[in-house]
Amino acid sequence: MTTHHDNDEELAAAAALNALDAASAAAATARRENDPAFDALVRGHEDTVLALAESVEPVEPPASMRANLLALIAETPQRPAPEAAPAIAEDPAQAEAPALPEATAPRRPRTPRVASGRRYLVGTLAVFAAAAIFVGGLVLGQIRSAPEANFDGTVASLLASADLERRSEPVSGGGAATVVWSPTTGQAAIAVDGLPALDAQRVYELWFIDGTGPASAGTFTATGTAGADWVLLDGTMKAGDVIAVTVEPADGDGTPTTDPILVVES
């Protein structure tokens, strides 16, 4: 006999209906990965929610959609199976994949999408792969426009970690980000590229989100120009944490007030 806290039942029902706000949804997704009992609660609603979906009247799409999609997939690379994803090495064939037309590119992904993020960060990713192996001045100097102050010794040693994990994502509102972390040390850093500059009253704020909620991991500003800027996250990342970025008042109180523009699941 298992019992569940009322809050878990409520969280599971809202998660099954996609009725959680973005930050809570990210936390719930992370929790499902690590808490089989909670995952079972959400999955217990699967058939009910599926019935809601399947009871809706179908709408025949125009024939052009089928033709568009068949043309698109012919040149769109697929993501490898999760367990088969290479930790460092990039497949050169995928890195050279053609960019998708903007109109059909996914807009607000909630799951890591290494493949589609790649087109924004091809140059940066190539440098990651190299930097992880050769932490030397020559290679580090190749990072596009990266101010030296941003690429300090801590980030360099993190990039050299043998167990380095990495996710690349487009950012809602423009730009792209790559998050790297070491599961062993719990250190994490983010490279942002092309994020819009904010007015003086607002900053970008980083968050570690776990089953209990968000914890601030520091703030940063962006110049609005192309080129990777590095920021080391404050605090230690735990297994299953979600990393998120929101736009917050510069004098914020350490709780998120807007929907994340980036959500990366570890």
Partner 1 sequence: MEITPADLLRQIAGGDRGAFADLYDRFAARVLGLVRRVLVDPAQSEEVTQEVFLEVWQGASGFDSERGSASAWLFTLAHRRAVDRVRSSVAARGRDERIGIRDQEVAFDSVAEAAETRVEHTRVARALGKLSPPQRECLVLAYYAGFSHTEIAAHLSEPLGTIKSRIRDALIRLREELGVIP
The residues binding partner 1 (CB under 8 A) are 6, 9-10, 12-14, 16-21, 43-62, 65-66, 68-70, 72-74, 76-82, 84, 100, 103-108, 110-111, 113, 115-116, 259
| Shortest Å distance, C-beta 72 to partner 1 | 6
Our CB check for partner 1 shows the closer of 113 and 202 to be 113
Q: Is the dihedral of CA 138, 144, 146, 152 positive or negative?
A: negative
| Shortest Å distance, C-beta 164 to partner 1 | 22
CA neighbours closer than 13 Å in the CB half-sphere of residue 211: 13
Distance CA(30)–CA(122), nearest Å, equals 28
Please name which of 118, 68, 128, 114 lies closest in space to residue 96, comparing C-alpha atoms: 118
Cα 195 to the chain's mean position, in Å?
A: 15
Our CB check for partner 1 shows the closer of 63 and 138 to be 63
Structure token digits, residue 211: 């089953």
| Shortest Å distance, C-beta 249 to partner 1 | 19
Our CB check for partner 1 shows the closer of 25 and 228 to be 25
What is the strand order of the sheet 213-220 is part of?
A: 213-220, 202-210, 242-249, 262-265
Our CB check for partner 1 shows the closer of 10 and 234 to be 10
| Shortest Å distance, C-beta 137 to partner 1 | 37
| Shortest Å distance, C-beta 10 to partner 1 | 4
Our CB check for partner 1 shows the closer of 72 and 226 to be 72
Q: Find all residues with CB under 8 Å of 16, minimum gap 6, and list them.
A: 42, 45, 46, 48, 49
| Shortest Å distance, C-beta 203 to partner 1 | 21
Our CB check for partner 1 shows the closer of 10 and 163 to be 10
Give residue 113's identity as a one-letter amino acid code: R
Please check whether residue 177 is in contact with residue 116, taking contact to mean a CB–CB distance below 8 angstroms: no
Structure token digits, residue 140: 């580090």
Our CB check for partner 1 shows the closer of 17 and 87 to be 17
* Percent helix, strand and coil across the chain, each to the nearest 5: 35, 20, 45
| Shortest Å distance, C-beta 119 to partner 1 | 12
Please name which of 23, 7, 15 lies closest in space to residue 48, comparing C-alpha atoms: 15
Distance CA(119)–CA(40), nearest Å, equals 36
